Structure 1
Amino acid sequence: MKHGNIIVFGASSGLGKAVAEYLADKCENLFTVSRRDPKVGNWIKTDLTKNEEIIQLAKGLEKTKIDGLLYLGGTWEEHAFTSDYDFKTSTDRDIDNVISVNLIAPIKVVKYLLPNLEKSENAKVVFMGALSGLDNFPSPEVANSSSKFGLRGAVHSLRQTLNSYEIGVTVINAGNIGTPEVLQDLKNSNLDESNAIPIADYLRIIELILTLSKDTTIKEIDLPNTKGKSA
């Protein structure tokens, strides 16, 4: 049985693109949201840092039922996760952008698309967290870590708020997922793919969440690589 109507945010690259491509023939309708054309699904061009474009997105989907909302977009500071990162030289624009994309936009997206989720008999919402949003996985990237900590807080609150609508809300706190971009970064650092979480494992988790009944939900999943690298 196919999934219903799924919308994937951040579908033009990285994890969002991988998940969108996986779901393309596994759902009734796939909507993809990004600034660049992901070449999969029904693309809705949207800059998630702009409130008016989020509102326009919602207006365009006004009568559409949404069964699965997957917010898999994300960004981080320049030189993040490298030895070149320096908080002192982080630009205000960089900080604002990271917080906007990783924390503010997900909250607004759920707010404006809640009427669409209400139309579903078993709606699921999934957010891309990170290990750097957990207490035991510190990371020096201030804006990124702050946004991921904040996202977890937002998810816990949304779960309580959306409980009356019987909408499941999950955050996946993962380490480095083996997307083509991550594997290339590892190669550039003379590391092999065993230092990344297989993309197939992440896709299995997405599949599980989307197939749960409305009578249960998975609150959080922490997904570190066995070699312990945080992200």
Structure 2
Amino acid sequence: MKHFIVFGASKGLGDAFAKGLPEPGDKVWIVSRSRPRSLEREDGVQRCWIEADLSDDAASGQITAALQGERLDVLIYNVGIWESSGFSADYDFEQDDPQEIANLIHVNVTSPILCIQQLLPHLKKSEKANIFLIGSSAGLENTNNSQVSFVASKFGLRGISHSLREHARKYGIGVTCINPGELAAEVPYEAGADTAVSAYGGTRIPVQDIVSLVKCIASLSKVSCVKEIDIPAMTDTNA
């Protein structure tokens, strides 16, 4: 029986992780602000909702308290907010609100550091633990993105993963940063990968592909150390 905790799991890729990773008998803690629909699934998986706002400094302690000392085998930090007008044709960095910038950096960079620091004792209880940080192809070099704060935060997440890996190595805890390109996150996991491919003409990555990738890495022996994986869409010539 595996124990998972998935941050940002009320919709999109996080919801896909909560539905597609666990097997009957497994337990999943879902961290989100809004109630996840996956709680209603009857598939033999125990799902527990931890309602938390990751922009709040107290969230990490709140999440740790909810676990009540239980073991964790897989931690997935799948949270990434961006500028309110980011990825739009009229985006202008010079118009970004300073408070919005500060909140973005907190949720995307500070929060994973605080939460993982608090949850490492739970991961140490596992015979084979894995931490997955979900980055973005926007955090890679030369991908032509002008969203300064979002890009900086995803570069920062990669730095967190590399340093955290060195700290966690002595405990046998694997740390992997996955940098996907644009996802077909609006297509529900249960609709299937073919539906996602068809809906976007093959330009967006089905969430099922990322779920399969995490499953594969988590199933490897303790000998293997998968550091970082970049997975843009085949049609994305900038990544």
Which blocks of at least 5 consecutive residues in structure 2 are unaligned? 39-46, 189-198
Partner of 2:217: 209
Give the one of 231, 235, 239 matched to 1:223.
231
Q: CA deviation at 1:192?
A: 2.7
Query: Could you say which residue in structure 1 is the equivalent of 2:6?
Result: 8
Query: Which of 11, 18, 21 pairs up with 1:20?
Result: 18
For 1:92, the aligned partner's letter is P
Q: Deviations over 1:16-36 (max 9, x none)?
A: 112112135456101100010
**TM-score, structure 1 as length reference:** 0.90
Q: How many residues align?
A: 221
How far apart are 1:162 and its partner, in Å?
Answer: 0.6
The code of the aligned residue for 1:165 comes to Y
Matches within 5 A, 1:137-176: 137-176=143-182
- Report if the CA contact (8 A) 1:176-1:229 is conserved: no
Query: Equivalent pairs: percent with the same residue?
Result: 38
- Shift of residue 60, structure 1, vs aligned partner: 2.1
Aligned to 1:135: 141
Distance 2:182 2:24 in 1: 25
Residue 21 to residue 224, structure 1, CA distance change in 2 (3 Å): same
In structure 2, distance between residues paired with 1:26 and 1:230:
40
Instruction: Look up the match of 1:188.
Output: none
CA distance in 2, matches of 1:93, 1:26: 43
- Asked if 1:200 is matched to 2:208, the reply is yes
TM-score by length of 2: 0.87
2: CA distance, partners of 1:136 / 1:87 = 18
Q: Which amino acid aligns with 2:150?
A: N
Unaligned stretches of 5+ in structure 1?
183-190
Any residues of structure 2 matched to 1:56-67 within 5 Å, and which?
Answer: 56-67=62-73
Partner Cα separation in structure 2 for residue 101 and residue 229 of structure 1: 29
Superposed CA offset, 1:35-54 (max 9, x none): 10113320000111112121
1:39-188 aligned within 5 A: 39-40=37-38, 41-180=47-186
Taking structure 1 as reference, are residues 229 and 103 closer, same or farther at Cα in structure 2, changes over 3 Å only?
Answer: farther
Q: What CA distance in whole angstroms lies between the structure 1 residues aligned with 2:125 and 2:232?
A: 35
Give the aligned CA root-mean-square deviation in angstroms.
1.8
Letter of the 1:209 partner, please give it: I
- Cα–Cα, structure 1 residues 64 and 224, in superposed 2: closer, same or farther, change >3 Å? same
Measure how far apart 1:229 and its partner are.
Answer: 6.1
Q: CA deviation at 1:200?
A: 2.1
Q: Any conservation in 2 of the 1:76–1:98 contact (CA below 8 Å)?
A: yes
